[in-house]
A and B are shown apart, each in its own frame.
Chain A
Amino acid sequence: MSQQAKSERLMNLVICLLVARGYVPKSRIRSVVGGYGDQTDEAFDRMFERDKDELRDVGIPIEIGSNDPFGEDEPGYRISRHEFELPEIRLEPDEAAVVGLAARAWQHSGLAAAASTAVVKLQAAGVEADTRALGAVEPRVGGEEPAFWPLWEAVRDRRPVRFWHRKVSSATGMQRHLRPWSVLSWHGRWYVLGFDTDREDARMFRLSRIVGDVEPDGEPGSYEVPPPDDVRSAASSLAPSPEHRDLSVATLKVREGSGHTLRRRATDVRPADVPGWDVVTVSYSSQTRLVEEIATHGADVVALEPDELRKRVVEWLTDIVEETP
């Protein structure tokens, strides 16, 4: 069967169900929509089922029901105009301009294609494209991680998923079972937030640490997503945040013009006895993190106190010198 004949059949099926006053029985559809009439019963059934699925896939709402409140009639099909048609929308030129800008924001995921078909629909509805150069702000949304699209689909369809998620220090990781609530970007990195059914609690997972495929682990629509405000507060309580528990205090000798990250969080900076150097006081909670940070600056930062910190920095640097063959 030719491509054109199939498109004609689908088009005529849409029109038939859209203009009908009530539900159209299958037998009537078969007799009025070209392409069905000359099929055997079995071939027609198969064809009709597939056509309906394909139309629903592109967003055409085909309902099943009966005109007879007692349901004794043959069930029929219809497309409700209210569900089918985009309601009236008029955008002022400045509104159309920001919508145009927003539509260009998506980069990699399937949402880039969705944004452009949305704009086409708006233009078809009479919204004039505003090509005025806004120029001054250019938004970009990535989401190029392979897990982005399947997780977005899962959130959209409220479908549980399972995936392997590795810890920062390992290659393989653990299998997780999640009812995803939201896909979110936090400080430029993408996460999925949801209810972890193994932990029985909300959890957040970094997308770039998902290994392999995201697979369905239940039926669509099988859970409810909490209200947006609850999702947002779960996100902010789970999001990685800078350490606030500052337990110890260290003093460091920092060369002038260096050690900006240390200076930025210093509680005190004063000139050292040696010209060209400052003594910088910082508080910290993880000694290892501070050792790493001091080592990063090489000869520009020297740990003074406490002694334990000084010793650890020396060990850290000695490892580098000695490990090299």
Chain B
Amino acid sequence: MTTGQPRQRRADSAPAQVSRLLSMLPYLRSHPYARVADVAALFNVSERQVIRDLRVLWFSGLPGLAMGDYIEVDMESVEGEGIISVSNADYLARPLRLRTDEAVALLVALRTLADVPGSFDREAIDRAITKLEQAAGEVAERAAAVQIQVDGEAVADVAATVRTALDERRRLHLSYWVPARDETTERDVDPMRLVVVDGRLYLEGWCRRAEQVRLFRLDRVAAVSILDAPADLPDQARPRDLSDGLFQPSPDDELVTLELTRGGRWVTDYYPFESAEELPNGGIRLRLWVRDRRWLRRLMLRLGSTGRVVDPADLATEVVDDARAALAAYEVG
């Protein structure tokens, strides 16, 4: 329990093997002559592992293991044609109940989907939730143990317009606020999908201005309208792989070193960083990748005396110049 990750059982440990077999047997029953390759893909193990699993059944069966008590597996066909046929295991016709982790993982994700404003298939989601709750029984009650609050009302209108454009495959026009530059930009976007990350809504689409796939946070959309033009997605418009997080460093990013005092430590809570080093005075030295210097300059003005740029030096100078320019309006400095 002190580790950050669940204890991972190796796929070939005996308990993992038994728990896999207890799902595999009912699956093979409802899918006669299943292919080894398909079963391996479903269980996310190698084909060799499936064959090893099936060999365990060779010596399994009713207590006492008299003639006729053994589960029958045609190993010749498994190893020859890669086709599985199992019989004499009628007492293992149904998989194990869902564990708490399993029920909660599905129910929490479904409830998140149901909360997406203007949600598609809302009715199907609700029906699926009800059926899963019934099948899971008592453990489904623990689903409140993980809650995800979805950006709701504030972005509902934008989300509904985006949904319509996605359904009708039409182009969108966005007025989009870019915080790094404090600008509202106008752009036409061919929508690809709505992405919901930890409850926050994004539109992923082909930005015709940047000629790139971009993610737009819905709470930063100042105005949105559907255009008459159909969405026209070029071949290179592929959804981004989000498994490594939303923000992936680009080769053009610049590595910047900051020193923050105690009062500036909040930065570590809000922005991804490369490394952090504690300083003797309770502050922190932070290295982070910066795409747009304007963003960092604004951050440094916000930090005031609670942070300073250590490297690169010319960036530190830019920040001071910004502060001087701002002071000029007060006729001091």
Q: Which residues of A contact B (CB under 8 A)?
A: 3-4, 6-8, 10-12, 14-16, 18-20, 32-34, 54-55, 57-60, 83-92, 94-99, 101-103, 105-107, 109-121, 123-126, 134-144, 146-150, 152-156, 159, 168-171, 181-190, 206, 208-209, 213-216, 225, 228, 231-232, 235, 253, 257-261, 291-293, 295-300, 302, 310, 313-314, 316-321, 323-324
Instruction: Report A-chain residues with C-beta under 8 Å of the C-beta of B8.
Output: 113
In chain B, residues 74-121, which have Cβ atoms closer than 8 Å to a Cβ of chain A? 91-92, 94-106, 108-110, 112-113, 116, 119-121
Return the chain A residue nearest B58 by Cβ: A8
Question: Which of B223-231, B250-258, B317-325 lies at the interface with chain A?
Answer: B317-325
Is B234 interfacial (CB 8 A cutoff)? Answer: no
Is B238 interfacial (CB 8 A cutoff)? Answer: no
Return the chain B residue nearest A301 by Cβ: B326
Is B167 interfacial (CB 8 A cutoff)? Answer: yes
Task: Kindly state the interface size class of chain B when it binds its partner.
Answer: 35 or more
In the complex with contacts A118-B98, A185-B147, A87-B19 CB distance below 8 A: no
A–B pairs, 29, beta carbons within 8 Å: A4-B55, A34-B59, A86-B95, A86-B96, A91-B131, A97-B124, A98-B121, A99-B106, A102-B128, A103-B109, A114-B104, A118-B103, A121-B96, A135-B193, A136-B166, A137-B113, A140-B242, A141-B197, A152-B145, A168-B269, A170-B262, A186-B149, A206-B269, A295-B302, A299-B328, A314-B333, A317-B327, A319-B305, A320-B301
Give the residue of A153, A235, A297 whose beta carbon is less than 8 angstroms from that of B298: A297
Instruction: Report A-chain residues with C-beta under 8 Å of the C-beta of B149.
Output: 184-187
B257 CB, nearest partner CB in chain A, Å: 15
Is B236 interfacial (CB 8 A cutoff)? Answer: no
Is A115 a contact of B52 with CB atoms below 8 Å? Answer: no
Is B113 a contact of A101 with CB atoms below 8 Å? Answer: yes
Return the chain A residue nearest B239 by Cβ: A138
In the complex with contacts A32-B63, A298-B325, A321-B327, A110-B6 CB distance below 8 A: yes
Instruction: Report A-chain residues with C-beta under 8 Å of the C-beta of B200.
Output: 187-188
A110 CB, nearest partner CB in chain B, Å: 3
Is A141 a contact of B56 with CB atoms below 8 Å? Answer: no
CA distance A98 to B127 in the complex (A): 10
In the complex with contacts A121-B98, A139-B112, A258-B182 CB distance below 8 A: yes
Is B14 a contact of A314 with CB atoms below 8 Å? Answer: no
Is B67 interfacial (CB 8 A cutoff)? Answer: no
Give the residue of B91, B101, B131, B245 whose beta carbon is less than 8 angstroms from that of A111: B101
In the complex with contacts A137-B196, A260-B184, A321-B333, A156-B55 CB distance below 8 A: no
Is A102 a contact of B110 with CB atoms below 8 Å? Answer: yes
Is B249 interfacial (CB 8 A cutoff)? Answer: no
Give the residue of B97, B197, B316 whose beta carbon is less than 8 angstroms from that of A142: B197
Is A137 a contact of B116 with CB atoms below 8 Å? Answer: yes
B19 CB, nearest partner CB in chain A, Å: 4
Give the residue of A33, A60, A117, A314 whose beta carbon is less than 8 angstroms from that of B332: A314
Is A156 a contact of B145 with CB atoms below 8 Å? Answer: yes
Interface of B is mostly: helix
CA distance A186 to B269 in the complex (A): 14
Give the residue of A10, A182, A185 whose beta carbon is less than 8 angstroms from that of B198: A185
Is A156 a contact of B100 with CB atoms below 8 Å? Answer: yes
Instruction: Report B-chain residues with C-beta under 8 Å of the C-beta of A143.
Output: 198
Instruction: Report B-chain residues with C-beta under 8 Å of the C-beta of A18.
Output: 91-92
CA distance A55 to B64 in the complex (A): 21
Best-buried of A96, A231, A295, A317 by chain B (most CB within 10 Å): A317
B122 CB, nearest partner CB in chain A, Å: 10
Is B36 interfacial (CB 8 A cutoff)? Answer: no
B307 CB, nearest partner CB in chain A, Å: 9
Is A114 a contact of B193 with CB atoms below 8 Å? Answer: no
Is B278 interfacial (CB 8 A cutoff)? Answer: yes
Instruction: Report B-chain residues with C-beta under 8 Å of the C-beta of A91.
Output: 128, 131
Instruction: Report A-chain residues with C-beta under 8 Å of the C-beta of B319.
Output: 320
CA distance A107 to B148 in the complex (A): 14
Is A118 a contact of B1 with CB atoms below 8 Å? Answer: no
Instruction: Report A-chain residues with C-beta under 8 Å of the C-beta of B14.
Output: 3, 6-7, 10, 54
A317 CB, nearest partner CB in chain B, Å: 5
CA distance A258 to B110 in the complex (A): 40
Having A87-B137, A140-B198, one finds 14 other A-B pairs with CB under 8 Å, namely A87-B135, A98-B113, A109-B5, A111-B108, A113-B6, A117-B23, A118-B98, A118-B105, A119-B106, A137-B195, A140-B196, A142-B198, A183-B146, A293-B302
In chain B, residues 173-213, which have Cβ atoms closer than 8 Å to a Cβ of chain A? 177, 182-184, 193-200, 204
